[in-house]
Chain A
């Protein structure tokens, strides 16, 4: 497999030219990617077909509006796409697509997944209420991987999986210093599409690899330290309840989460509702009951369902009207649960989701072993 193609020139324009080229040569039939919306103050996803991309298309937008995996899931809900379609995804969106493919919520047939070295994203609220032109400009400066994004979302600041490793094609920005980018194939399909792409066979790709490994090390340390100290502030029911105290039970966080795919959520269902009498008894037992009840159960329960697959995309926190640090809580829970099963969401398509498999000999710390106990009787 070729290592990569170096494309000199402005990054965004170069990527769009490459995709337009694929469309013109009919190597792909459509592209699914974000573009500026009509008002110019935010972004939305568009399926672009005919023969050119929309003028406003943007392969590396400064905000994450709808999580890309949700869009891909929507597109393939009733079956696969019939013709080759390229999808431009942030690395966390790409990993969510892989997680959803494992549980058959995304059909990967005919999809070409393209991802990029992600500089992070601004909080949605900041972008929508801010000056988009100014923010776009300061975002552009960070594309080359030299400057870190100023004021990104919490999870972006501690993101240690900021490249699209595993995607059919990776757009390598890190180390390019904004002077250009690499097109790196990650699969046979990706390699075929790169055949004939405008650019030069790369002899400088180790610059990117070095930049990535440096930032990965720095970010891993930062992530661990930040989560460690965050854990201290939220540890214990008391602190956790303080952190969640502003929550208004709107369940936006689960609605926008790509991993929370259930059409009917257990926590919105009747399973947890009870008679007024029951609530009254609970209230009397402890001289007061917060309503709607089960605030902590909702968050912990959601963690039990999906934290092993949480890709730390931050969509939940962007959607929270009450400023609850939801994505940090889930990053923390995910770090703990993923470690138990030695699992990393989105790492590989053939790595089964922990709930669906088991080993005969494992998790001895969580059970009272049969033999040991037997000898006591």
Chain B
């Protein structure tokens, strides 16, 4: 199944205070970015459990993007440090199971950086496009 650009699906978990606000800013500034991401807003990046990431991948999304405040800037002061540990766990387990851990990305995008949000989304989408279809999408026995 060849991938055309709109086929790619990326689920993005964005923290309310920074990356989601940056996404909002990118929107209101009318910046163009790849239309493949579906955003799930969470109050803090530390709300994201490894299970969320793994479920998204096992259900067939091609990429998972996690966005939080830059280290030191977390609205709840240290949530993003816990988030980093959880993402490390998810990536390690994905790798142990032979799922492509490259499909998981953690980035820090401050609220005021709309252009950067657009840039990162484009870059990640291009990267996922290179990786191709997530084979789990068609796996019946999963």
Q: Does A340 contact B (CB under 8 A)?
A: yes
- A223 shortest CB reach to chain B, Å: 16
A336-B92, A360-B81 known; A301+B87 contact, CB < 8 A: no
- Give the CA-CA distance A182 to B49 in the complex, in Å: 46
Q: Which of A258-286 contact B (CB under 8 A)?
A: 266, 272, 282, 285-286
- A183 shortest CB reach to chain B, Å: 40
- A97 shortest CB reach to chain B, Å: 24
Do the beta carbons of A336 and B84 come within 8 Å of each other?
no
Q: Which of A222-243 contact B (CB under 8 A)?
A: 231, 235-241
Do the beta carbons of B88 and A239 come within 8 Å of each other?
no
- B76 shortest CB reach to chain A, Å: 13
Q: Does B130 contact A (CB under 8 A)?
A: no
A360-B81, A366-B106, A367-B84 known; A295+B142 contact, CB < 8 A: yes
Do the beta carbons of A241 and B139 come within 8 Å of each other?
yes
A residues less than 8 Å from B113 (CB atoms): 377
- Selected from A285, A294, A373, the residue in CB contact (under 8 A) with B107 is A373
Do the beta carbons of A363 and B138 come within 8 Å of each other?
no
Q: Does A124 contact B (CB under 8 A)?
A: no
Proximity bits, B87-116, A CB within 8 Å = 1, else 0: 111111111111100000111100001011
The count of A-to-B residue pairs whose CB atoms sit within 8 angstroms is 134
A340-B92, A376-B119 known; A240+B98 contact, CB < 8 A: yes
Q: Which of B108-142 contact A (CB under 8 A)?
A: 108, 113, 115-116, 119-120, 123, 135-142
Do the beta carbons of A367 and B120 come within 8 Å of each other?
no
Residue of A307, A337, A367 with most chain B CB atoms under a 10 A cut-off: A367
Do the beta carbons of A304 and B49 come within 8 Å of each other?
yes
Do the beta carbons of A282 and B59 come within 8 Å of each other?
yes
| Chain A interface size range | 35 or more
Do the beta carbons of A285 and B140 come within 8 Å of each other?
no
B residues less than 8 Å from A290 (CB atoms): 140-142
A304-B93, A368-B107, A377-B119 known; A363+B85 contact, CB < 8 A: yes
A295-B142, A370-B108 known; A237+B92 contact, CB < 8 A: no
Residue of B96, B115, B140 with most chain A CB atoms under a 10 A cut-off: B96
Do the beta carbons of A336 and B96 come within 8 Å of each other?
yes
A residues less than 8 Å from B98 (CB atoms): 235-240
Q: Does A288 contact B (CB under 8 A)?
A: yes
Q: Does A75 contact B (CB under 8 A)?
A: no
A residues less than 8 Å from B71 (CB atoms): 360, 370
User: Can you name the residue of chain A whose Cβ is closest to the Cβ of B85?
Assistant: A358
Residues of A within 8 A of B (CB): 231, 235-241, 245, 266, 272, 282, 285-290, 294-297, 300-301, 303-305, 307-308, 332-333, 336-337, 340-341, 354-355, 358-360, 362-363, 366-368, 370, 373-374, 376-377
Could you show 14 A-B contacts with beta carbons less than 8 Å apart? Answer: A236-B97, A237-B142, A238-B98, A266-B51, A297-B55, A303-B96, A304-B50, A308-B89, A340-B88, A363-B84, A366-B91, A366-B106, A370-B108, A377-B115
Residues of B within 8 A of A (CB): 49-51, 54-55, 58-60, 70-72, 78, 81-82, 84-99, 105-108, 113, 115-116, 119-120, 123, 135-142
